[in-house]
């Protein structure tokens, strides 16, 4: 029992390291070759995890081999447009200038109901509101609405919004984020003065953030 427990931990760590080396995108939008490798890694890890008679190296070595294969395919994908087209395919326009392309739907084996479902996933409930719908190589559908149906933005009214910047975490669970303090040109003493306004010390805060306008959000740990 203990052997299975420790083998599971070792394989989990190996798979976690491999997935991190494959890049963050693997967790989100998977290309077909990435999905295939992910499934194979899961299968390879599960066998030596439960079968104690099989050497653990029988799972680790093939997983590392798949990592090497992934890196090679990724390099081809980045360097060659033709290779990228063969490996990942090309985006397909499903709706062009407001008209559904039936041939494109047939090639991609998409039904009208599936198309409507994807549109609803993009907060579009009416087919008549869509100017373009593009099936990406990752399988997601990008929707561009007709100009009169799009949400208005400040530029439509000749308004120039103030620069907002990005928020920074200054304290997380009582831990001071020194790098973020340095990034905004502040130090601990400044942070302490700001947090004391909320009647606490930085180390007592659950979270402290500052946005691009200098507004601070602070909440105390319970």
75-119 tens-digit pLDDT:
887 888 787 777 777 889 999 999 999 999 998 888 889 899 999
Lowest mean pLDDT among 71-75, 141-145, 177-181, 193-197: 71-75
Counting residues of the chain whose pLDDT is more than 70, the rounded percentage is 91
Q: Are strands 205-210 and 168-172 parallel, antiparallel or unpaired?
A: antiparallel
CATH 3.30.240.20 residue window(s) in the chain:
92-149, 168-220
pTM value > 0.75: no
Torsion of CA 119, 120, 126, 130, to 10 degrees: -30
What are the tokens at 146?
Answer: 């007709």
Query: Higher model confidence: residue 170 or residue 77?
Result: 170
Q: Confidence band (pLDDT; 50, 70, 90) for 27?
A: very low
30 phi/psi in degrees, rounded to 5: -90, 130
The C-alpha atoms of residue 90 and residue 74 are separated, in whole angstroms, by: 16
> Mean pLDDT across the chain, nearest whole number?
84
Q: Looking at the domain that runs over 168-220, which CATH code has it been given?
A: 3.30.240.20
- The pLDDT score that the predictor gives to residue 188 is 94
How distant, in Å, are the alpha carbons of 175, 182, 183, 213 from that of 179?
A: 12, 5, 6, 19
Query: Higher model confidence: residue 109 or residue 1?
Result: 109
Q: According to the CATH classification, is domain 92-149 in 3.40.50.2300? A: no
């Amino acid at each position: 029992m203990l052997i299975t427990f420790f083998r599971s931990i070792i394989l989990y760590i190996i798979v976690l390291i491999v997935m991190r080396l494959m890049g963050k995108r693997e967790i989100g939008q998977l290309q077909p070759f990435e999905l295939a490798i992910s499934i194979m890694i899961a299968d390879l890890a599960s066998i030596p995890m439960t079968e104690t008679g099989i050497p653990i190296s029988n799972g680790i070595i093939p997983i590392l081999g798949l990592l090497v294969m992934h890196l090679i395919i990724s390099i081809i994908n980045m360097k060659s447009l033709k290779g990228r087209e063969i490996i990942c395919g090309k985006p397909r326009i499903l709706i062009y200038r407001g008209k559904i392309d039936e041939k494109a739907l047939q090639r991609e084996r998409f039904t009208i109901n599936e198309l409507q479902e994807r549109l609803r996933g993009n907060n579009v409930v009416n087919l008549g509101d869509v100017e373009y719908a593009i099936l990406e190589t990752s399988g997601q559908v990008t929707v561009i609405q007709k100009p009169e149906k799009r949400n208005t933005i400040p530029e439509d009214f000749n308004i120039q919004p103030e620069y907002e910047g990005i928020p920074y975490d200054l304290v997380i669970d009582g831990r001071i984020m020194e790098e973020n303090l340095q990034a905004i040109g502040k130090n601990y003493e400044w942070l302490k003065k700001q947090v004391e306004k909320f009647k606490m010390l930085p180390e007592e805060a659950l979270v402290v953030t500052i946005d691009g306008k200098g507004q601070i959000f602070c909440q105390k740990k319970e």
